[in-house]
Every structure is written in C-alpha cells, then in structure tokens.
Amino acid sequence: MRAAIGHRFPLHSLFTRFSAKLTARRVQIQATVLLLCTLTLYGIDIATPGLRDRVGHLKGPDFLQFYIAGSLANQNRGDALYDPAANVREAVRIVPEAEGVVYFPFYGPQVSLFFAPFARLPYGYALLVWTSLSAAIYAACCFGIWRHCYGLKPHGRAILLLAIAYPAFFALLTHGQISALALAWFTLAYLALERGWEFAAGMSMGLLLFKPQLGFIAAACFLFCRRWKVVAAALISIAVQVAIVWIYYGLAVIVNYCSMFGQFDKLRPFLDVKLYQNHSLRSFWTLLVPQHLATMLYILCAAAFLVIAVLAWRTAAPLSLRYSILLLVTVLVSPHLYVYDLVILAPALMLVGDWALQHSQDELSPEILTLLYMSFVLPLLGPITRFTHLQLSVIAFALLTVVLFRVVSRSAVKEEVI
C-alpha cells in the first residue's frame, strides 16, 4: 500500500523523511528561536518614546481606524464613519502623531460601537488594553481547542511555544488588528458544534459579519448541507447586529456601508497595499500573472475549493477534519486575507496535528505533518514574494486542504462499504 502511494505521489517519500525529523524537541527549539528573534526585533523597533516606532511608523497602525471609529461612535457621528477625509481629520485631532496616516474605513458600523469604550482612553493606553485583550482571546481559543486534542496532550510545552511563536499571532499584536475576534467566533462555533449546540454555533458564525468574507464558506457549507438551525441562528445574529446599528445610527449608515461593496475597483488600491503579505488564492494569482488572467484563475480555483469544502461537510468524517477544511478554504477563497487573519487557522493546525499524531500509522500522516509545518512557517516568507512573486504559503494551504479531503473522502467510502 505504501509503495503504491509513494509511486502515485512522488513527494510522499520526501514527506516521510521530513516528518520523521519533526520531533517534539526539535520543534520546541525551532519555536523558541523564532520567538526570541521576533521579540528581539519587535522590542528594538518599539523601544522609543511616544507613539512612533524606530522607523517612524505609528505604533499599532491598524488599531488607529478602530480607535477613530470608536471616537466617532461616542459622538454619534454616523455620517462620518465612511468618510475617509472625516476619519483623517478626527485622527489628527485626537492622535496628533497620526498625521500623514491615511486609510479607508472598511469595517461594519457595529465595530465602531464595540470600540467606543476604548476610544475614551488615550490612544497609547487603548492600544495596550486592546493588544492585551487580543492576546488573552488568542490564548483562550488555543487552550479551548487543545483541551479537546488528546493526541497533543503529551506535548503541552511544544504547543505553548508554537502558539506564542505563530507568525500570524505576532502580526496580529504588532498591527493592533481585530482578527482575534474572528478566531473567537470560529472557535466558539467549533466547540458548540462538537457538543451538538447548533443554534449557539450559528449565533457565533453570525458575528463574523464584521468581516463578511470570512463567513462565506461556512454559510455555503451549512446551506448546502441543510443545517437549517445553524443558518437560522446566524441570520438572527446578523439581524440583531443590524438592528443595534440601525437604532443607534439610523439607516443611512447601513446604506453607506453596503454601498462600499459596489466600489471594489476604487477600493482595490487600499486592499492591495502590501499584497505580498496577503495569503489567499486571489493574492497568489495576482502576484503571479496579469490581472485579467489572475481574476479568472482565482474564480476557478475558489469555486473548486468551495466544492471541496461542501463535499467534505456532506460526509460523516470527524468534525475536526471537516472544520479544519472549512477554515483552510475560508483562508484560500477570501478575496483579502492579510497575514494577521491567519490566526483563524490556529484551531485547524491543532486539530489536524492531533489527528495526525493519533493516526501516525496512516499512510497520509507524513504528508499532513509536513504540510502543517509548512503552513506554520511559510507565512514568514511573505516579504520575499515581492521578488519571487510566488506565495508559497498559499501552496501549502492548498495542498494541506487536498490531502485532508483525501482523508475525509476515504472515510466516506468506508462508510458506504459498511
């Protein structure tokens, strides 16, 4: 059987040799080195007085947009939420160090209400509180998943080091982004599904409305698989968020927000800043081929992976594998997914690693362990893509998804035989 697999997939023997070297001790050493390097570089960069780092950038640059949105919410200025000029003026007014920082407000109006309490603090303190809260959310999610990964229980120290050293987590904290919330909603949904609490899972999925591109694959899977309780709960969650915004701001803000989606071409320059740090199929093809061809290839590949996700959810394979596929495809299909958004893969990396360790005799286990390692490490090489135009992380995510689908499909075939 192994010979047949090795003949069919030439890389199998290479994966087998590589995975054999991934001992817990080696992984801990590598994670420790990575952690020390990132902490040292980051510490040197921000060890400056004031709100500007050593190279002159605003500390926690992405947090500024949420801080300003919260400030506008406190003033009930819904008319200014999606006015870029008004956002810039407000930023300079309350954070003078932000002069020269320009961004486009993309997030839903409910985000401004969430950050209204933070905006009552000075920017530096607000950033510190949010960064600490993001770290706490990330830690709680990783711990919640780890508790259900019996194959990972003996490797608690290695998992802790890997979680802290995860490049996406580092990017999340340094940018002051809010992807920890997406991780929380995905994690809560998984834990709810594991217990059979479909309504709670749907309510959690509905909270992804603040980054709607992250909820598309989940919506497709639950709709095509007729999980109506999950779908209904998600719609209720969305309706509640819309109602809160409507009551606070009025209908005009919702209309202004929705109108942005019809101006994608105008927004593309803002979305494609540092395209090499995006890790999805769209950025992969955009970096590699001309724009018109990239769009076509992105649509075709996205459709193929959407089918994979739906087919996986139509099987009776373990929830851990189906949910991991859902998260991986969510990353691949998203039209805009920056490196900090990869924190939503943390549960998938742990769940898949747990399966591989518990099924170490499986012929696909070496491939899975190797691709897990690559999926963890390769986002570090994002900046190199400026010169190579080849986003290796996306290739690793895609290959891991395909291999997991083979495992899921095999489970479905066995069930049919029985």
Residues 6+ apart with CB under 8 A from 13: 6
Residue 268 and residue 72: Cα distance in Å, rounded?
A: 25
DSSP-derived secondary structure letter, 294: H
Q: Is 225 helix (H, G, I), strand (E, B) or coil?
A: coil
Residue 22: CA count within 13 A, CB half-sphere: 23
Q: pLDDT at position 239, please?
A: 97
| Amino acid present at 210 | F
- The pLDDT of residue 416 is 41
What CA–CA distance (Å, rounded) separates 292 from 86?
34
Distances (CA, A) of 89 to 86, 96, 103, 239, 314: 5, 10, 12, 32, 51
Question: To the nearest 10°, the Cα dihedral for 338, 340, 344, 347?
Answer: 130
CB 356 within 8 A of CB 333: no
The pLDDT score that the predictor gives to residue 363 is 80
Assigned token pair, 394 = 């996306």
Q: Does residue 81 come out as left (phi exceeding 0), alpha (psi in the -120 to 50 range) or beta?
A: alpha
- State the DSSP string of 102-117: -----S-HHHHHHTTT
How would you write the pLDDT of the chain (418 residues) with one tens digit per residue?
Answer: 343 344 445 566 776 777 767 777 888 888 899 989 988 988 888 888 888 888 888 888 899 999 999 999 999 998 899 888 899 899 999 999 888 887 778 899 999 999 999 999 999 999 999 999 999 999 999 999 999 998 898 888 889 999 999 999 999 999 999 999 999 999 999 999 999 999 999 999 999 999 999 999 999 999 999 999 999 999 999 999 999 999 999 999 999 888 877 666 666 666 667 888 899 999 999 999 998 899 999 999 999 999 999 999 999 899 999 999 999 999 999 988 999 999 999 999 999 999 998 988 878 888 899 999 999 999 999 889 989 999 999 999 999 999 999 999 876 554 443 3
Query: What is the pLDDT, as a whole number, of residue 411?
Result: 65
Q: Which helix (H) or strand (E) holds 190?
A: helix 179-194
What ranges do the domains of the chain cover? 2-417
Residue type, 140: A
Cβ neighbors of 273 (< 8 A, separation 6 or more) are: none
The tokens 């904290």 sit on which residue? 173
**Three-class DSSP category at 52:** strand
φ and ψ at 58, to 5 degrees? -65, 135
- Cα gap 3→365, rounded to integer Å: 15
Write the CB contacts of 192 (distance below 8 Å, at least 6 apart in sequence): 198, 200, 201, 204
Could you tell me the two tokens for 281?
Answer: 């199929």
Using only C-alpha atoms, the chain has a radius of gyration, in whole angstroms, of: 22
Are 393 and 375 in contact by the 8 Å Cβ rule? The answer is: yes
Name the one residue in this structure whose structure tokens are 């360790």.
357
Q: HSE of 341 in the Cβ direction (CA atoms, 13 Å)?
A: 22
Please report the pLDDT score of residue 362 as a whole number.
Answer: 78
The reported pLDDT for the residue numbered 94 is 92
Task: Name 330's Cβ contacts closer than 8 Å, sequence gap at least 6.
Answer: 214, 216, 217, 218, 344
> Using CA atoms, how far apart are residues 346 and 353, in angstroms rounded to an integer?
11
Whole-number Å distance between alpha carbons of 267 and 255: 17
